[in-house]
Chains A and B, each alone.
Chain A
């Protein structure tokens, strides 16, 4: 996993970030000594958007922030892109203090390092597909020729060939979001923000766009902060998931860990309906390696999603060897374990897995 490869270098680092809306937000916050209770703030006429968020995002990692509407996930994203001002706390981008930047530095940062995709696309209605995609480049002062050439590359990348001269209103939602994606990638940013990019799309298109997103990330390997309210989407895309409720990050962990050990009751409710075999990897049901004589001929990768190998494992009477990326046996798994995982009472047997 990318996150483990380059774990040493956080691209985004948030330390005790607070965002409180309201007139006396700053004053109230300084009186509260770091402990923010949403209710007392509400009585004072303030709304807590983000409450003491601290985390890091590493190079090449997809961090998905998941929460229901009003949980503060979009606000958190906007604090990190500095579209809203943070009330308190520190945010570092590549070690630079984001909140201390002058407007000029901020513009430079956005022109070169950041790209963002929006829920309702945020396309400029008066510009064609090509002009929209070229917009960040033109704003930067690139020549028309150069920016158009680059924009055409992006059109190809997101598969909109032949629609360069369409206007946003002439495109379907999925196509519009492809334009949004192409635009956000046009300046080759290191950090990619996506704010519920697929929420406004139909389920089938959403699935297609998620695949497209994973394909692009496979090629581009950006550092990604992805906001969604769809838990399944989070599970599909994330390297790590941060689950937010009322401005607080309830749990931040890998999808498997969230499903297996939800930290709070709130998180557990999300995991209830999740088909585990489609989320968990063989690794999570793996047992220590058994004697070679007990192993069958079948070998599965420890990173394989259980669902994809379940049939093979279930038809193998013996233990199945689990191998890592280099082919070394790191453990074993038996059909009984899979059956238990699939049909055991998920709600009460978490600890037995």
Chain B
């Protein structure tokens, strides 16, 4: 008995493994055998969802609408009219910003008519010359933060213009400039509501969990059904995708405001709204800012994905370039997206940190310094544009607007590089590629697919029981059951195999790199900055270099996934190890530990819960990237979601598939989080 008590955990694991392998070996692969595969009880769900969506869009609650073109009343469904009105509003905003930057007639048309524009040739909104935008960016950077930011903004803007990506970049920018603020405001609003009301929080939190683990593509389908296709649809999908992290971080920040600050606000006589706007939100600024950064990152990550439903801009061109395997161009476009992401990120940060200066007895000129400088600059640039018109004659006016793909390009250079690599490294890369696919990936995939559903349940629920008792076992079992009842269990297994492969490799690399860097405070700082920068890149960017090296294969997908998913593992390892209390380090030193002993006996045990949270992030990142990998060609859930996207009745399939992916993520998330929380409490680190 004493033996059992002492090795209780080990025995539990052994019993579990014995059960698992017995089932694995004994259950025969037969479609009628319930132990092998569950019947697809949920197969009718997608159709039902489709029917429901259609009913909502076309039949439910008919209203009379006046059609100004036909000049008569017609019947339409309420939801349809609402979404149509909303789409129109978003589209107008995007076009308005776009035409300020690029010129056009659509804004004028919105207030008059196409006939009016056709009759009056002068009624065209001129574009801002790119030099004005450049000056504006530099000035904004300088005003908000200083020379460094001004330099960064200047370089980024010039790069975009000179490399001939001005038009798509401004298209992307116009769409981000609408989507990001809307997401931030929505996030703030819902975060504040959740903070105020416990009921709202209990409703919002599970929705957020699902929303944040649903793959990007899944959002596109319902948006397409309800809002149609185009820039506005892209913006709406982006808003839906970018809002959840903002809500979460707003809530987190508000909850972290020290009670004394809240009390101080109350004792100063704040009303409810003053309390929220002047005390809570500004005090929670740090977390809310992280939320804003995430929103901006998500917006740019979605720039590519939203192009699937008609959003124009860099993302669309990048997608095109990737499909045509024009690596050089894809790279240039990718850099544009990254530059916009980084500059917007820094500008928003600097803006939030900006303080107003009272008692500055400044003159009119000083107070409006930047406005005046910008005006002068604008006038100069406009004159320069006219001068340019004369210099360049009938050709392209390089001072006004450099048309798409008319700038400098480094594409031949990159193409030559790719060719050179293919020529010289082809053999080595191909050998590696073959080895990986044949000796590692194929057997692993076969092993996953050969797993009877009963064995999977025993394993996963058993782990759940060991970590969090019956409650956890039932939760993860529930998530799994949903997937098992759909017709995509095999696809889910493939997704699981790719994700687990990537997670294992990422975790190993991340923990090793993180541990090595954490030995030294300078290296820690550097690696954290590297992680920060890499995280600013939209996930899509990671596909470019791997396609360059490995072409369109599973290996490419997996390497991109590994690179992307290693970031959180590394970051959390460094953070976890660096946050081990100094007194414990000293205690270790005085006990005479060497570096390895310190790492094994002191640092790792204490940092492990935090590292596990990093692994948790790694799983979510990997899952997302695996799904995005469908673009290159995989045969997992992602590929089916992509197919649903081009299907007229795809909404049901898309949502169900999205939920499958989300539930895989949530099951893992639940297990790791429960475990890490328990461990943290046990170590007294809450």
Contact = CB atoms under 8 A, between A and B. Distances in A.
A110 B265 CA distance: 10
Nearest to B278: A139
Contact of B358 (A112, A144, A180, A183): A144
Interface stretch (B2-10, B201-209, B267-275, B485-493): B267-275
A343 B24 CA distance: 88
B269 A116 contact: no
A75 interface: no
Contact of B269 (A118, A126, A140, A165): A140
B268 A126 contact: no
A120 B259 CA distance: 10
A122 B264 contact: yes
B266 A110 contact: yes
Given A120-B258, A122-B258, A122-B261, A184 B267 contact: yes
A153 B278 CA distance: 23
B270 A139 contact: yes
A130 B358 contact: yes
A139 B268 contact: yes
A125 B358 CA distance: 17
B376 to A, nearest CB: 30
Interface string B262-291: 011111111100100011001101000000
A83 B266 contact: yes
Contacts of B260: 118-122
Contact of A124 (B263, B266, B282): B282
Given A122-B261, A126-B282, A115 B358 contact: no
A116 B263 contact: yes
A268 B278 CA distance: 47
A193 B269 contact: no
Contacts of A144: 358
Contacts of B279: 124
Nearest to B263: A83
Nearest to A144: B358
B670 to A, nearest CB: 28
Interface size range of chain A in the complex: 35 or more
Contacts of A112: 269
A300 interface: no
A119 to B, nearest CB: 7
Contacts of B278: 135, 139
B359 interface: yes
Interface in A101-116: 107-112, 114-116
A148 B264 CA distance: 19
Interface size range of chain B in the complex: 20 to 34
Contact of A118 (B264, B355, B359): B264
A205 B263 CA distance: 25
Interface string B248-262: 000000000010110
A83 B268 contact: no
A78 B260 CA distance: 11
A112 B268 CA distance: 9
A83 to B, nearest CB: 5
Contacts of A332: none
Given A120-B258, A122-B260, A81 B267 contact: yes
B355 A128 contact: yes
Contacts of B357: 165
Contacts of B283: 124-126
Contacts of A78: 263
A136 interface: yes
Q: Which of A127, A148, A164 has the most CB of B within 10 A?
A: A127
A144 B359 CA distance: 10
Contacts of B263: 78, 83, 116, 118, 122
A135 B268 contact: yes
Nearest to B275: A139
A139 B274 contact: yes
Interface in A161-182: 164-165, 180
B269 A139 contact: yes
A321 interface: no
Contacts of A136: 268-269
A123 to B, nearest CB: 7
Contacts of A109: 269
Contacts of B266: 83, 110
Contacts of A131: 358
Contacts of B270: 107, 139
A27 B252 CA distance: 34
A179 to B, nearest CB: 11
A110 B267 contact: yes
A142 to B, nearest CB: 12
Contacts of B285: 125-126
Contact of A123 (B264, B267, B269, B271): B264
Contacts of A184: 267
Nearest to B264: A122
A111 B357 CA distance: 25
A109 to B, nearest CB: 8
Contacts of B268: 110-111, 135-136, 139, 183
B77 to A, nearest CB: 43
Contacts of B282: 124, 126-127
A140 B267 CA distance: 12
B271 A115 contact: no
Contacts of A83: 263, 266-267
B267 A114 contact: yes
A108 B269 contact: yes
B264 A111 contact: no
Interface string A127-166: 1101100011001100010001000000000000000110
Contacts of A81: 267
Interface of B: 258, 260-261, 263-271, 274, 278-279, 282-283, 285, 355, 357-359
- A-B CB proximity, top 7 nearest: A111-B269, A122-B264, A122-B260, A136-B268, A110-B269, A116-B267, A118-B260
